[in-house]
């Protein structure tokens, strides 16, 4: 079974700082990778996804993520965070074929200070 690790549980940044959130997964086959965001009091929304092709994917709100197959990683980045990016961020994975239910990491709570 696959698993997902998010090493940063709580990150505090000032506005305009750069962001990188780590995500590592364990699964031997092909995978689909996702980052979801949960703003306070809201449901999960998709930030970006990787299925195949260019390992650098761009999502909404200026976020991007890079898939590094050799490191089993899918780190999320943003060059300059805003106060409105305060939220919880979840990395998730499904196998490339077959089962479609997501396996989630434990989440990273991002707090951006104005």
Partner 1 sequence: NAGVTQTPKFRILKIGQSMTLQCTQDMNHNYMYWYRQDPGMGLKLIYYSVGAGITDKGEVPNGYNVSRSTTEDFPLRLELAAPSQTSVYFCASSGNYEQYFGPGTRLTVT
Residue 87 DSSP one-character state = E
Is the CB of 84 or the CB of 106 nearer to partner 1?
106
What is d(CA 109, CA 87) in angstroms, rounded to the nearest whole number? 6
Is 9 a residue that touches partner 1 (CB under 8 A)?
yes
Q: Using the rule CB under 8 A, which residue among 43, 52, 54, 114 binds partner 1?
A: 43
Q: Contacts with partner 1 in 64-83 (CB under 8 A)? A: none
User: Least distance (Å) from partner 1 to the CB of residue 31?
Assistant: 10
User: Least distance (Å) from partner 1 to the CB of residue 106?
Assistant: 4
Note whether 102 and 93 are within 8 A (CB): yes
Surface-to-core class of residue 44, CB atoms within 10 Å of its CB (0-12 exposed, 13-18 middle, 19+ buried): middle
Provide the binding-site residues for partner 1, judged by CB under 8 A.
Answer: 4, 6, 9, 32, 34, 36, 42-46, 49, 51, 90, 94, 100-107
């Amino acid at each position: 079974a696959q698993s997902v690790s998010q090493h940063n549980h709580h990150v505090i940044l000032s506005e305009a700082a750069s962001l990188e959130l780590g995500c590592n997964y364990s699964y031997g086959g092909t995978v689909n990778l996702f980052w979801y965001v949960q703003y306070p009091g809201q449901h999960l929304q998709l930030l970006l996804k990787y299925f195949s092709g260019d390992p650098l994917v761009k999502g909404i709100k200026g976020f991007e993520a890079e898939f590094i197959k050799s490191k089993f990683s899918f780190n999320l980045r943003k060059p300059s965070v805003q106060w409105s990016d305060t939220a919880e961020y979840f990395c998730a994975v499904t196998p490339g074929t077959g089962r479609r239910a997501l396996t989630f990491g434990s989440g990273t709570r991002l707090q951006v200070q104005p």
